């Protein structure tokens, strides 16, 4: 039976010392709740650090206790915690990924500690891992673990989810170990982020820094299909809704209210972290009171800061800054019976949190950057009467789902000030309208759905990988194909041209059919319907191939010539207005890349780099394709990284659709298709039920079989016609 192994830096448990004894306290965090249904079930386990450094003699006992709870500990020494966790994870990756580049530091010894600790986690997983297991690794502390496991277990199913943002390539590339980090993550099969932007940034870094080309959200890593996705995480909605409705929460709210008085409260609740934008919020509140003195005495900021990473110097400095600002603002506006900022530096049990969520009519959650932010979703779930206003930073992943919040740019102080006023003065009907919509969103997409979706997608991908594992065409299989062909009455064969029937030449004009190919096509066309389906221009195919009486499909399906009746244009093509912009971009790259050139077809543009110095061509092609992707997004175009080409074509057209269209009115009892590159995958996929599909070259493919090169294609075709 296969099991699921969850891996994260922290186990969902806290160990506390009381009278020399270890007490085990289950974590109530969102992730722990969501994954509870998985790791507590059957043989499944959760591997991670138990949160404290223990003397060696206690490790056995703790391990025994944790095993009973389906957990497996990775013990870290104080020095490891210092360098791996507080060091590299939180002073290199965390600031880089949240765009706080001035807080980043690069220390070789901390990178080494990170690598060693990741190896420790991978070793701990290996100890329990069996071939059919699914491993789900979480977050930025463990980016190297996927590939460490992949090296040891090439066929294992691995998922990776990153809970914090993934920055733009421009920031990520500053990290000295950027390629190692990317390759580490790419050991996973399925990689999830909270937002589409994170996913986009990750793909672009893989492309530009590590040389992987990608198609939509898929990357081929050493013949393994890897998928990158955006899956926003939700909360356990009912837990927060129920807790807020509970008598306990209501009683606590009443008690707090009695001592606080009747003023309006604005909730601010985060871990102590510079990414959360606490000083900015305080300054905006200060300015709000300054500009709107009528609110002095009527509204207070309820500021909860949860202690976190206080051994890291930048966090210590932040704490001092917050304390200074709170003191300054309170000193300025407080009266005998009014405290503008109620500041609490500690954490609270759930029932008290629920009371806070109930009693604050406004929640102001304005991080400078946040992967998702769950507090705002918990606030929404807790609003029993469907009133209340959420002020939310555009920079939180949650903003992508919660467009009915008042969205603000946390760097725009004037807008933040204005948003407080708007929230305080928002009519109740408007509050309810917005809150109802947000409650619908948050209650629909919960943590449980998120977990099911991730695991479902991961398993689905693995099944697709297996389906794509192309079989080498053995002599025996070849004989079977030949026999089938010979028995058929009305066979049809789709042939790609370059790389399939002829090898690649430095100059594409040198690829005209040689004598052997001419002979082969002459003989073959008498025994089967032949369709050459190529990315080439119609004119070129005409020049080289019309004499063989075969059907021609040019420019991936844009133009079609059937039975020599003349070229017709595919009616689905969009206008070619995009070409001027794309041509300008390509010409810019031609100037900078000696040996590269542009091929212009009626509805596609191709930048060729097969003559460019090795290395430079690849580098420029990656720059060019991300440049094109940026400028031509949403225009119904595909930007394809092909074999030594970058090609732009209308996405409504592809070889697969063209092949299917050609087959529509035929009654073929034998369908065969050959091709070598990405564009031929569309043919293989479209014909997968009906045809014998053959990929030329190595690599994953939708084709059923694979052969080495064009020579093997020709030899198989000769065998089929039974002469040479």
Residue span 388-407 as binding mask against ligand GDG, x where in contact by CB under 6 A, dash where not: --------------------
CA distance 71 to 76: 16
> What are the structure tokens assigned to 43, written together?
């043989």
Min. distance of Cβ 65 from ligand GDG in angstroms?
Answer: 23
Candidates 110, 189, 198, 378: give the one binding ligand GDG (CB under 6 A).
Answer: 378
- Considering the complex, state which of residue 269 and residue 673 has its C-beta at the smaller distance from ligand GDG: 269
Instruction: Provide the b/e sequence for 406-444 (b: ≥16 CB within 10 Å).
Output: bbbebeebebbbbbbebbbebeeeebbebbeebbebbbe
* CA 548 to chain CA centroid, nearest Å: 48
Candidates 107, 250, 257, 271: give the one binding ligand GDG (CB under 6 A).
Answer: 271
Q: List the beta bridge partners of residue 694.
A: 674, 705
**CB proximity list for 368: less than 8 A, separation 6 or greater:** 98, 99, 100, 274, 275, 276, 277, 280, 393, 395, 410, 411
CA distance 187 to 170: 23
Helix or strand or coil: residue 182? helix
* CA 275 to chain CA centroid, nearest Å: 21
Binding of residue 350 to ligand GDG (CB under 6 A): yes
Instruction: Answer for the pair 138, 7: CB distance below 8 angstroms, yes or no.
Output: yes
Stretch that binds ligand GDG, among 23-31, 513-521, 597-605, 681-689 (CB under 6 A): 23-31
CA distance 360 to 353: 11
- Considering the complex, state which of residue 362 and residue 396 has its C-beta at the smaller distance from ligand GDG: 396
Stretch that binds ligand GDG, among 312-320, 365-373, 541-549, 565-573 (CB under 6 A): 365-373
> Which residues inside 578-637 make contact with ligand GDG, applying CB under 6 A?
none
Residues touching ligand GDG: how many (CB under 6 A)?
Answer: 19
Binding of residue 100 to ligand GDG (CB under 6 A): no
Burial (Cβ within 10 Å: 0-12, 13-18, ≥19) of residue 675 = buried
Q: What is the DSSP letter of 383?
A: -
198 flagged as catalytic: no
CA distance 621 to 606: 11
Candidates 375, 451, 520, 691: give the one binding ligand GDG (CB under 6 A).
Answer: 375
Candidates 6, 12, 13, 30: give the one binding ligand GDG (CB under 6 A).
Answer: 30
Binding of residue 163 to ligand GDG (CB under 6 A): yes
Candidates 374, 560, 612, 687: give the one binding ligand GDG (CB under 6 A).
Answer: 374
Candidates 314, 347, 443, 651: give the one binding ligand GDG (CB under 6 A).
Answer: 347
Binding of residue 373 to ligand GDG (CB under 6 A): yes
Binding of residue 233 to ligand GDG (CB under 6 A): yes
Candidates 104, 220, 296, 306: give the one binding ligand GDG (CB under 6 A).
Answer: 306
> What are the structure tokens assigned to 314, written together?
């930048």
Min. distance of Cβ 157 from ligand GDG in angstroms?
Answer: 22
Binding of residue 453 to ligand GDG (CB under 6 A): no
SS3 readout for 337-362:
CECCEEEEECCCCHHHHHHHHHHCCE
Min. distance of Cβ 308 from ligand GDG in angstroms?
Answer: 8
Binding of residue 348 to ligand GDG (CB under 6 A): yes
Instruction: Answer for the pair 558, 656: CB distance below 8 angstroms, yes or no.
Output: no
- Considering the complex, state which of residue 84 and residue 161 has its C-beta at the smaller distance from ligand GDG: 161
CA distance 126 to 45: 12
Binding of residue 229 to ligand GDG (CB under 6 A): no
Chain residues binding ligand GDG by CB under 6 A are 28-30, 163-164, 233, 271, 306, 347-348, 350, 353, 370-375, 378
Which residues are part of the catalytic machinery?
Answer: 496
């Amino acid at each position: 039976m296969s099991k699921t192994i969850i891996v994260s830096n922290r186990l969902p448990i806290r160990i506390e010392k009381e009278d020399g004894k270890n007490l085990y306290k289950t974590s109530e965090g969102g992730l722990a709740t969501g994954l509870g249904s998985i790791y507590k079930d059957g043989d499944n386990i959760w591997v991670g650090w138990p949160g404290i450094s223990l003397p060696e003699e206690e490790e056995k006992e703790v391990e025994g206790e944790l095993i009973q709870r389906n957990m497996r500990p990775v013990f870290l020494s104080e020095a490891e915690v210092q360098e791996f966790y507080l060091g590299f994870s939180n002073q290199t990756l965390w600031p880089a990924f949240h765009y706080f580049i001035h807080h980043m530091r690069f220390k070789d010894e901390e990178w080494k500690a990170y690598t060693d600790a990741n190896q420790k986690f991978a070793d701990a997983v290996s100890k329990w891992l069996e071939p059919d297991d699914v491993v789900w690794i979480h977050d930025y502390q463990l980016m190297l673990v996927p590939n460490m496991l992949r090296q040891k277990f090439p066929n294992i199913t691995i998922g990776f989810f990153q809970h914090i943002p993934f920055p733009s390539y421009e920031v990520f590339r500053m990290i000295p170990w950027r390629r190692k980090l990317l390759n580490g993550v790419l050991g996973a099969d399925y990689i999830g982020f909270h937002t589409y932007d994170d996913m986009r940034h990750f793909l672009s870094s893989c492309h530009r820094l590590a040389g992987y080309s990608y198609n939509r959200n898929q990357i081929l890593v050493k013949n393994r299909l890897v998928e990158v996705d955006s899956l926003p995480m939700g909360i356990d909605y009912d837990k927060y809704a129920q807790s807020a409705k509970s008598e306990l929460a209501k009683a606590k709210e009443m008690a707090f209210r009695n001592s606080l008085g009747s003023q309006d409260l604005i909730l601010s609740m985060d871990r102590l972290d510079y990414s959360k934008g606490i000083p900015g919020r305080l300054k905006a509140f200060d300015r709000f009171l300054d500009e709107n003195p009528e609110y002095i005495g009527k509204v207070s900021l309820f500021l909860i800061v949860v202690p976190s990473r206080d051994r890291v110097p930048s966090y210590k400095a932040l704490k001092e800054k917050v304390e200074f600002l709170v003191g300054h603002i309170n000193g300025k506006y407080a009266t005998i019976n009014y405290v503008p900022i109620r500041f609490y530096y500690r954490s609270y049990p759930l029932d008290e949190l629920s009371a806070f969520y109930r009693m604050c009519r406004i929640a102001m959650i304005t991080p400078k950057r946040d992967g998702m932010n769950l507090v705002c979703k918990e606030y929404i779930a807790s609003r029993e009467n469907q009133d209340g206003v959420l002020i939310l930073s555009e920079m939180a992943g949650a903003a992508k789902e919660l467009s009915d919040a008042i969205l603000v740019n946390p760097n725009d102080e004037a807008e933040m000030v204005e948003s407080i006023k708007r929230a305080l003065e928002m009519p109740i009907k408007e509050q309810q309208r917005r809150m109802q919509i947000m409650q619908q969103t948050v209650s629909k997409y919960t943590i449980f759905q998120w977990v099911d979706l991730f695991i479902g997608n991961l398993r689905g991908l693995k099944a697709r990988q297996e389906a794509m594992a192309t079989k080498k065409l053995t002599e025996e299989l070849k004989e079977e194909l030949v026999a089938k062909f010979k028995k058929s009455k009305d066979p049809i064969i789709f042939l790609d041209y370059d790389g399939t029937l002829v090898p690649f030449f430095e100059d594409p004009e040198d690829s005209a059919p040689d004598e052997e190919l001419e002979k082969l096509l002459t003989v073959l066309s008498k025994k089967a319907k032949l369709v050459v389906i190529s990315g080439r221009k119609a004119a070129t195919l005409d020049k080289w191939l019309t004499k063989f009486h075969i059907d021609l499909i040019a420019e991936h399906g844009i133009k079609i010539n059937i039975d020599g009746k003349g070229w017709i244009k595919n009616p689905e093509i969009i206008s070619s207005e995009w070409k001027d912009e794309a041509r300008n971009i390509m010409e810019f790259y031609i100037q900078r890349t000696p040996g590269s050139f542009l091929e212009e077809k009626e509805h596609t543009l191709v930048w060729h780099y097969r003559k460019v110095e090795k290395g430079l061509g690849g580098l420029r092609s990656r720059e060019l394709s991300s440049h094109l992707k940026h400028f031509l997004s949403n225009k119904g175009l595909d930007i394809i990284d092909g074999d030594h080409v970058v090609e732009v074509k209308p996405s409504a057209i592809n070889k697969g659709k063209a092949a299917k269209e050609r087959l529509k009115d035929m009654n073929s009892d034998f369908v065969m298709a050959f091709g070598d590159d990405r564009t031929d995958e569309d043919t293989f996929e479209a014909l997968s039920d009906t045809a014998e599909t053959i990929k030329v070259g190595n690599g994953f493919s939708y084709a059923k079989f694979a052969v080495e090169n064009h020579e093997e294609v020709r030899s198989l075709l000769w065998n089929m016609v039974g002469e040479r």
